[in-house]
Structure 1
């Protein structure tokens, strides 16, 4: 199944055999410290930059069944973001993973994003649309 937006993600998560817990890492696009003129120009056009994780959270598909719920919750933190990366954790034997079990995978996601290793994650913009990043 090709995912196009947040609704597709939630529907797919709810169809899985094992209960899912969704892992979200919110990231802000920033201009690199030693950016050259070309990089500054790209960034001004909304291209390029470095993605810096600002916030992470885990939720069940039912807790955030609408993208607006996730956005609203993120806005209450005071952290701004441009892209949200998503991964899913399968439960075991019909039991959903706990938030405590998600801590280490969330930390690993944040580290991978900081290193630019984003290909294993679904990326979405602030509208809830899937985006493909280079």
Structure 2
């Protein structure tokens, strides 16, 4: 169960999106950690201890604010879809002129997020583990 500070990060994301003047969509990329085939013994040991590895996106989704309630509900939805993941990356995408972002903008932004996760360029995203705790890289 996430701690109050953990769940508050997700809650803060929802509050920040709700406070924006234009309609928002929240974008999520779910990633699993995998051990690269050329990993050495030290890397294997770290991975077996739950650290390190390469992040591989396994799914992405966009949600409107009314579709989101709690972090636990989002995790439960991902589990019902049988998604194996360790890190969830989240970002907001703003609409314009009172309209939500177009499907094309959403698809483009999700593709950019997926590529960012693959390449390790995800510093601008909120990263949470399966318990809702912030993930720090480096």
User: 1:55 corresponds to which residue?
Assistant: 59
Report the Cα distance in structure 2 between the residues aligned to 1:127 and 1:16, rounded to whole angstroms: 27
- CA RMSD of superposed structures (Å): 1.6
Report the Cα distance in structure 1 between the residues aligned to 2:124 and 2:45, rounded to whole angstroms: 29
Which runs of 5 or more residues in structure 1 are unaligned?
none
CA deviation after TM superposition for structure 1 residue 132, in Å: 2.0
- Give the SS at the match of 1:86: strand
The alignment status of 1:96 with 2:100, answered yes or no, reads: yes
On the 8 A contact 1:22/1:88 being kept in 2, the answer is yes
Which runs of 5 or more residues in structure 2 are unaligned?
1-5
Report the Cα distance in structure 1 between the residues aligned to 2:61 and 2:122, rounded to whole angstroms: 17
Query: Can you list the C-alpha shifts for 1:28-60, whole angstroms capped at 9, x where unaligned?
Result: 011111110010011111111111000000001
User: 2:17 corresponds to which residue?
Assistant: 13
TM-score by length of 1: 0.91
User: 2:40 corresponds to which residue?
Assistant: 36
CA deviation after TM superposition for structure 1 residue 123, in Å: 0.4
The alignment status of 1:24 with 2:38, answered yes or no, reads: no
Report the Cα distance in structure 1 between the residues aligned to 2:103 and 2:78, rounded to whole angstroms: 17
User: 2:3 corresponds to which residue?
Assistant: none
User: 1:78 corresponds to which residue?
Assistant: 82
User: 1:69 corresponds to which residue?
Assistant: 73
| Aligned pairs, number | 132
CA deviation after TM superposition for structure 1 residue 130, in Å: 2.4
CA deviation after TM superposition for structure 1 residue 95, in Å: 1.1
TM-score by length of 2: 0.88
Report the Cα distance in structure 1 between the residues aligned to 2:100 and 2:113, rounded to whole angstroms: 19
